[in-house]
Chain A
Amino acid sequence: MTEVPIVHYLYLAAVLFVIGIFGVLARKNAISVLMGIELMLNAVNINYLAFAKYWGGGNLTGPVFAVFVITIAAAEAAVALAIVISIYRQLKSANVDDAHNLRG
């Protein structure tokens, strides 16, 4: 049995990352932007774990970093949704384009 080459993991992660970038840049709703960020974080995690498996040689730094990424993504989602709800209360809108109070 031949294994899946590591480049295929990298390409999968790259595609996921690029889709996330597009979601962050092009969507109007703040929650959609948040979902794009989650996609990008997951792409990074795929890379960490693929490298740890194929190139790590038993080194555990990759999965340890994946754990940190997952943890901080959860904290980030909680704070970001709180901010979105707060913005929605103030502006009656969840669109990132409408939140331009600080523009000069």
Chain B
Amino acid sequence: MTQALFYILAGVIVASALLVVTVRNLFHCALALALTMFGVSGVYLYLGWEFLAAVQVLIYVGAVTVLIIFGIMLTRQVMDDKARVMNNQVLLSLLAAGAVALVLYLVIGHSDFQYSNHPALTAAATAPAAEASAYADEVSSLAAGLLKPQNGFAFAFEFVSILLLSALVGAVVVARKDPS
């Protein structure tokens, strides 16, 4: 029963992702993208990452999609309904995407990913106190994973905040009207 939920989510994700890349109207593309992001956050929920599912909804549905819709509205005048939405390398793109799909299919099929647990981990995972279960909830364990010095991500975590700031300033500078 609960497995059906995953396959329904997968169907929604794939169908709306196909809509994102094929629909003519850019605005409808953005709405389909929001639906895809909701589906992906549903998959996160299904996997048990509640906090990341909430973050996914907040950032992707709440921020990125709205940003994209703003971008569409600001560049809208040029779009007419008769213009082609695809460039003249659709066949080549299909070929490239198909090649990547084939490689991914072969790699996944020939790997030992069929096991739901890593063969070496099933015994080992239970023995040492697993890091995640050392904390009461997902947020605390994720915070420990990000900020504990022995995990090695503390510097990257701080650096990402600098990256966000510079991206913000850079976006403002790039999009600003030329004063001259």
Contacts and interface: CB of A to CB of B under 8 A. Distances in A.
Interface core residue of A26, A39, A59 (most chain B CB under 10 Å):
A26
A65 B8 CA distance: 26
Contact of A75 (B52, B98, B141, B163): B163
- Main SS at interface, chain B: helix
A7 to B, nearest CB: 5
B: contact size bracket: 35 or more
A22 B67 contact: no
Contacts of A99: none
A75 B130 CA distance: 33
A7 B78 CA distance: 44
Contacts of A60: 131-132, 141-142, 144-145, 151
Given A63-B142, A88-B78, A93-B78, A78 B43 contact: no
5 contacts: A4-B6, A7-B114, A18-B97, A26-B21, A39-B17
Interface of B: 2-3, 6-7, 10, 13-14, 17-18, 20-21, 26, 29-30, 33, 36-37, 40, 43-44, 46-49, 52, 55-56, 59-60, 63-64, 67-68, 70-72, 74-75, 78-79, 83-87, 89-90, 92-94, 96-98, 100-101, 104-105, 108, 113-118, 121, 124-125, 130-134, 141-142, 144-146, 151, 153, 156, 160, 163-164, 167-168, 170-172, 174-175, 177
Interface of A: 1-12, 14-23, 25-29, 31-32, 34-36, 38-39, 42, 45-46, 49-50, 53-61, 63-64, 66-68, 70-79, 81-86, 88-89, 92-94, 96-97
